[in-house]
Structure 1
Amino acid sequence: MSTCHWCHVMERESFEDEEVARVLNRDFICIKVDREERPDIDSIYMSVCQLLTGQGGWPLTVFLTPEKHPFYAGTYFPKDDSMNMMGLISLLKTINNIWQNEKKTIIDATKEIMAVQKADRRPEAAKLTMNTIHHAFSQLKRSYDSYYGGFSNAPKFPTPHNLLFLLRYWYSQKETLALEMVEKTLESMKNGGIFDHVGFGFSRYSTDRKWLVPHFEKMLYDNSLLAIVYAEAYLATGNSSYSETAHQILEYILRDMTSGEGGFYSAEDADSEGVEGKFYVWTMQEIIDVLGEKDGIEYCSLYDITSKGNFEGKNIPNLIATGTLSEANKTFSELCRKRLFEYREKRIHPHKDDKILTSWNGLMLAAMSFCGKALGEEKYTISAEKCAQFILQKLVRSDGRLLARFRDGESAILAYLEDYAFLVWGLLELYEATYKPFYLEKALEFNKRMLELFKDNTAYGLFQYGHDSEKLISRPKECYDGAIPSGNSVAVMNLLRIARLTGQPSFEKEAKSIIEYFSSDIEAVPIGHTYMLCGYLYATTEKASEVVFAGSECDNMVKTYNSLYHPFSVSLSQITPELIKIAPYASEYRGYTGKAAAYVCQNFSCMSPVTDTESLSEIFLQPKKI
């Protein structure tokens, strides 16, 4: 991970140290892996680390035999022994001594570890019901911080798919507390220091309960999913502060994280000049020097900036104490922000990880497409189309095989399940933002290839890497929704949407088989599978809708539809021979009495065509807050 803070610390302390290098080069063969390029390797050996130590994280340090069998694992090690922590020098000497003198001990350990790794420990499939959904909500409610939002004390992660689940729970169950949890969390994150109030965008997580002190690296995947959540919250509530935040996230992405060719970069580091957060923090005097005394003091009072500081003697701008700004203060704040941004741009910037990953680009493709239609902002849709074209031109091999990474003109590494699933998600969103059949056709094409490459034809579920990929010591299937939703969870949602868009129930059958395969995992820890449960809700809700817009001049109808919150709905429009080839049932729909019409089907029953926007709005009327 090129933006991992503790990876950099270990690199500086140990891997660039001559004493460590002598021991490593004398006794070991060293292999450095970018876990973002090789998530398959990371997943396998991270599970070993968790098995052996009860925890995981990065940097991940694993010792293997020549057969690539693991026998010892940990995360960060200092160079020298420190308090109760063994240093890397001591560890290397100890392991080498055991390898030279007691090799059988290590070989026996690897056999035990490999037996556990290869064993299918999944219990028999459980029968998921709405009780599982309610249990997930109860678990989130128990872990919810009612004062600062979020779902733990510290560290605190945004985990956007938990919020997506809660929005769907509110919508389907009319549970107002679920919406309150979402709103409190979104407002608290936006007001906290985890949000960059000068340059926009969210950092990866907060080190404290209040969302004040972030781990300053910014990841493409977090900002993709958060843009979607804030836009969904805007549709659900009409609160313009959420749409404003979604706009600000995407402004940051378009300004700082977009390549000239249309792809999106991966991340920005937490460190600059070897100091974590240096680029982002301020002294009170700096603010006054840039803004002048009157404006500077007023800005400091709004954003918790003092001579004492709130982070290591300096200040992270935040609105935790102030709360949401009034319109007058917003205008003042924005004028100040622009001047501070111009000043900050002269600083030495954190390192930018400029590799372009298909998976994370799929997420931002989804975000740009969804926000383009939900917020009525054409530039986001244009950016999404550029991204899609970039991937199709640069990251698809001549034989149609998707690749995982592009950097410095080189495309490489066979794509993983996440690459296919996230790209299909993005293409489905782009289709509904543009109604160009080409994007739906491509989504179907990559979805078909995904099933061919990753499907387990004996036990169901999708493997992390393809049948044609490098064979590793095990072949995992992931369903846990961690920092981002799992490839299997996103594939389930894609399959359900494709089934409804095309009228082909075989796709829904595939989705349900994946849910059933992982049902025992989901039932055991519902809170760890919230995006998979979004798929389960979609598969079972009576609120699922299919909408076809027919006739000429549908723009107002589509605009109204896009302004409503309907998380279990898909739509078709601009019915052409190309679309009918993909979704034959669309040929049956025409304008009604010479007008544009919306045909809405819910729960296997179709309503009379709707020809005015008011009637369309009433169909999708969401529950009101009490």
Structure 2
Amino acid sequence: MKTKVEMANKLIDEKSPYLLQHAYNPVDWYPWNEEAFKKAKLEDKPIFLSIGYSTCHWCHVMAHESFEDEEVAKLMNDTFVSIKVDREERPDIDNVYMTVCQMLTGSGGWPLTIIMTPYKKPFFAGTYIPKISKYGRIGMIELADKTKKLWNHEKDRLFDSAEHISERIKEATKTSPGNLLGKEVVELCFKQLSNSYDNKNGGFGNSPKFPTPHNLLFLMNYYHINKEQKALDMVIKTLDSMSIGGVYDHIGYGFHRYSTDEKWLLPHFEKMLYDQAMLTLAYTDCYNITKNDYYKEIAERILAYCTRVLLSKEGAFYSAEDADSEGEEGKFYVWSIKELKDILDDQELELLSRVYNLKESGNFKDEATRRFTGHNILHLKEKLSELSHDKYDDNLNRTLDKIRDTLFKKREQRVHPHMDDKILTDWNGLIIAALSRAAAIFNREDLAKVASKCADFFISSIDGDGSLFHRYCKGQWNILGNIDDYSFMIFGLIELYEATFNDRYLKKAIDLMNEQIKSFWDEEGGFYFTSSNEEEVLSRMKEIYDGAIPSGNSISFTNLLRLSRITGETKYEEYGEKLQKVFSDTIKESPIAYTQMVSGILLSLSKSEEVVVVGDINSDEFKSYVSNIRSVCSPASVLVAKNTNESHPMIHEIADYTRYQDRVDDKTTIYICRNFTCNEPVTSLSEALSIIGK
């Protein structure tokens, strides 16, 4: 009998939690490496490529049905050389083959299934595949058998098909420069969002409903600059609806991945770091516009979840929590009335049931049987602040806090969902940005300290040539950084600079931008997803689509714009113009698919405003000035500080124009420049506020 070690496949030495989940499958899995491709060539077998991630529900389903099944594994081992890839660890591989899947099938998703030649050229693409063919979907047994017959008898046809598909991918990824985009594309984006907006439930489109926070960030920028109330109304309705729905965790905080229905009630229960980061930015910006404490509270609670659950001992953040626990999706989060009766007294249960819409039969239906499950997802019909207080006693919030605390402690005793404990540079860049903006807007120095510690962890990892790594896991850095790693980390460092005015973070953002240009820039315009030092898989891609998270090119465009305005270096704006031009024809076709990029275009078309505050950055007066200035600044503005306590401020090297900006009469002094014209310096805060943003 084999020992457990002997039963392990080639994934056993990997760091990725997803790959390790499959290390004891009877499928003879290999990681993506040369050994696997050499084996396929030597044994004359096609490659079976399976791409997923550790918190993916349907990845777990397919693994249980097929990859853990001895019959399926034997067929796969006889037919293929099988490779497992963690899409979060190798997004470069995932991007290429997801493009293949979407081109061949018209859709995509995970698990992603590709069958290809030993030369990485695909001839079949799909997503979830059951063990046995059903519902018009081919099963793994039939797929393996059919592939083996075709490989043995019609290999030339498969190779021809693979060659044709590969050429189509290369053609599809080619770009050619167009013209600079103007207000027309901004207005079309706003119109398309308005047309897809759900007036009843908030959000965009029908079910399933994703948060897509960059849509909301665009609308808030649009409101700021055009004073269009409808834009803000769409944001408020969406943020309100999400925060009262089941997609928000009312007990432990944080947001689930998306809602399976249009009402934000029944979520797909996984929690992703990038969703928490982007939604924190959205709720923080909404607070900054409306000054409604509700949005501040939600943003702070999201960050409380992140720092309580996802924060590693290194000071960086883990990737995600699974949707499943004990083999069942959502089991950790739902409640039966029977269970609640054992936890709460009758009065508490009655209040909880009324406020959070709980029912004896359950308040959501099983998607397969369409019957109520007997379980409940806590959700509200309206915000607690809007509930009619004559229904409840005056201590409603205090009583509910006590009940939620009781449920939280009880829930903590359950089996927790799996934690994906790899640390990704790109997603951490987003959470640094979110923590920093919240720190600045909410005057929370503790959040800035968390962001700083996280940023320092990544800065310390940069190797001698200035390159970032993509992934840290179990004590090891690995995998060269991609465009998202650079652009998101630069975004985070710029936000961290504006929260702390620590020049070191701004200097590092500029260093990384220069490295990004050196290693990723295409002379036609735009950034490749992978660096010039990395393996090319089929084609070197340039991503612009703003999907679950914004693309690296979209974030880079805004980074270039901000760095140009902060430093006075026009070269960054010139790179931004080239980037915009190379994607302009694509963006014009459907701006709603590129809202982060269009948001940057909106800012580039707006009046630029550079505000420099000169003084003792640790003084109460300086902090008060900055806090008030932030509340009125346009999103097109940049805020720079010159610390008079430093004899040789680093900001002089970064932004040469600040050498000549000093305090007037030893007072905190504000310099305001707009559209390449500077006003006289002012020491009066009220005078400065009357100028800024006007």
TM range (shorter): over 0.9
Contact 1:122–1:521 (8 Å) recurs in 2: no
Structure 1 residues 75-84 or 177-186, which shifts more? 75-84
Residue 484 of structure 1 aligns with which residue? 549
TM-score in terms of structure 1 length = 0.96
CA distance in 1, matches of 2:75, 2:550: 40
2:111 matches 1:59 = yes
2:504 maps to amino acid: F
| Percent identical residues | 45
2:78 matches 1:26 = yes
Residue 315 of structure 1 aligns with which residue? 376
Secondary structure at the counterpart of residue 592 of structure 1: coil
Contact 1:548–1:599 (8 Å) recurs in 2: yes
With over 3 angstroms needed to count, the CA separation of the structure-2 counterparts of 1:123 and 1:400, relative to structure 1, is: closer
CA distance in 1, matches of 2:627, 2:613: 11
Residue 654 of structure 2 aligns with which residue? 582
Structure 1 residues 200-209 or 531-540, which shifts more? 531-540
Q: Give matches, 1:11-90, under 5 Å.
A: 11-90=63-142
With over 3 angstroms needed to count, the CA separation of the structure-2 counterparts of 1:45 and 1:567, relative to structure 1, is: same
2:394 matches 1:333 = no
Q: Give matches, 1:140-539, under 5 Å.
A: 140-311=193-364, 312-320=373-381, 324-325=385-386, 328-393=395-460, 395-457=461-523, 459-539=524-604
Superposed CA offset, 1:399-446 (max 9, x none) = 332100001101100000000000000111111111111111110111
CA distance in 2, matches of 1:334, 1:140: 37
CA distance in 2, matches of 1:278, 1:616: 54
Contact 2:177–2:581 (8 Å) recurs in 1: no
CA distance in 2, matches of 1:358, 1:144: 33
Structure 1 residues 596-605 or 519-528, which shifts more? 596-605
CA distance in 1, matches of 2:407, 2:397: 15
Cα RMSD after superposing both structures: 1.5
CA distance in 2, matches of 1:28, 1:187: 50
What is the aligned length?
619
Structure 1 residues 252-261 or 330-339, which shifts more? 330-339
Residue 367 of structure 2 aligns with which residue? none
With over 3 angstroms needed to count, the CA separation of the structure-2 counterparts of 1:76 and 1:504, relative to structure 1, is: same
1:372 maps to amino acid: A
Contact 1:194–1:203 (8 Å) recurs in 2: yes
Residue 688 of structure 2 aligns with which residue? 616
2:287 maps to amino acid: Y
Superposed CA offset, 1:449-505 (max 9, x none) = 011110012x11100000001122110000111111100011111111111111111
1:61 maps to amino acid: T
Secondary structure at the counterpart of residue 184 of structure 1: helix
CA distance in 1, matches of 2:474, 2:386: 43
CA distance in 1, matches of 2:634, 2:422: 35
Deviation of 1:323 (Å):
5.8
Deviation of 1:560 (Å):
1.3
Secondary structure at the counterpart of residue 84 of structure 2: coil
CA distance in 2, matches of 1:73, 1:234: 44
1:259 maps to amino acid: S
Contact 2:642–2:658 (8 Å) recurs in 1: no
Deviation of 1:268 (Å):
0.2
Residue 573 of structure 1 aligns with which residue? 641
Superposed CA offset, 1:82-111 (max 9, x none) = 132211111111111111111111111112
Contact 2:180–2:580 (8 Å) recurs in 1: no
2:545 matches 1:545 = no
Superposed CA offset, 1:269-318 (max 9, x none) = 00000000000000123333323211121011100111111132200000
Contact 2:241–2:264 (8 Å) recurs in 1: yes
CA distance in 2, matches of 1:374, 1:150: 25
CA distance in 2, matches of 1:512, 1:6: 41
Contact 2:250–2:378 (8 Å) recurs in 1: yes
Deviation of 1:588 (Å):
1.3
With over 3 angstroms needed to count, the CA separation of the structure-2 counterparts of 1:124 and 1:594, relative to structure 1, is: closer
Residue 12 of structure 2 aligns with which residue? none
1:556 maps to amino acid: S
Secondary structure at the counterpart of residue 483 of structure 1: coil
TM-score in terms of structure 2 length = 0.87
Contact 2:180–2:577 (8 Å) recurs in 1: no
Superposed CA offset, 1:144-195 (max 9, x none) = 0011100011000000000000001111111110000000000000000000
With over 3 angstroms needed to count, the CA separation of the structure-2 counterparts of 1:465 and 1:621, relative to structure 1, is: closer
With over 3 angstroms needed to count, the CA separation of the structure-2 counterparts of 1:619 and 1:283, relative to structure 1, is: farther
Secondary structure at the counterpart of residue 563 of structure 1: helix
Superposed CA offset, 1:30-56 (max 9, x none) = 000000010000000000000100000
Contact 1:557–1:612 (8 Å) recurs in 2: no
CA distance in 1, matches of 2:605, 2:138: 52
2:374 maps to amino acid: G
Deviation of 1:127 (Å):
4.3
Query: Which structure 1 residue ranges, 5 or more long, are not aligned?
Result: none
- Aligned residue among 3, 9, 13 for 2:61: 9
Deviation of 1:123 (Å):
6.1
Deviation of 1:332 (Å):
2.6
1:615 maps to amino acid: E
2:200 maps to amino acid: Y
Contact 1:304–1:321 (8 Å) recurs in 2: no
Contact 2:182–2:601 (8 Å) recurs in 1: no
CA distance in 1, matches of 2:592, 2:176: 19
Structure 1 residues 198-207 or 115-124, which shifts more? 115-124
CA distance in 1, matches of 2:396, 2:520: 52
2:676 matches 1:604 = yes
CA distance in 2, matches of 1:115, 1:621: 50
Deviation of 1:122 (Å):
4.1
Deviation of 1:322 (Å):
6.2
CA distance in 2, matches of 1:53, 1:382: 47
2:115 matches 1:92 = no
With over 3 angstroms needed to count, the CA separation of the structure-2 counterparts of 1:581 and 1:127, relative to structure 1, is: closer
Contact 1:366–1:427 (8 Å) recurs in 2: yes
Deviation of 1:203 (Å):
0.6
Q: Give matches, 1:96-135, under 5 Å.
A: 96-119=148-171, 122=175, 125-135=178-188
CA distance in 2, matches of 1:297, 1:599: 59
1:56 maps to amino acid: G
Structure 1 residues 466-475 or 189-198, which shifts more? 466-475
Superposed CA offset, 1:128-147 (max 9, x none) = 22011000000000000011
CA distance in 1, matches of 2:357, 2:691: 45
Deviation of 1:124 (Å):
5.5
CA distance in 1, matches of 2:320, 2:454: 17
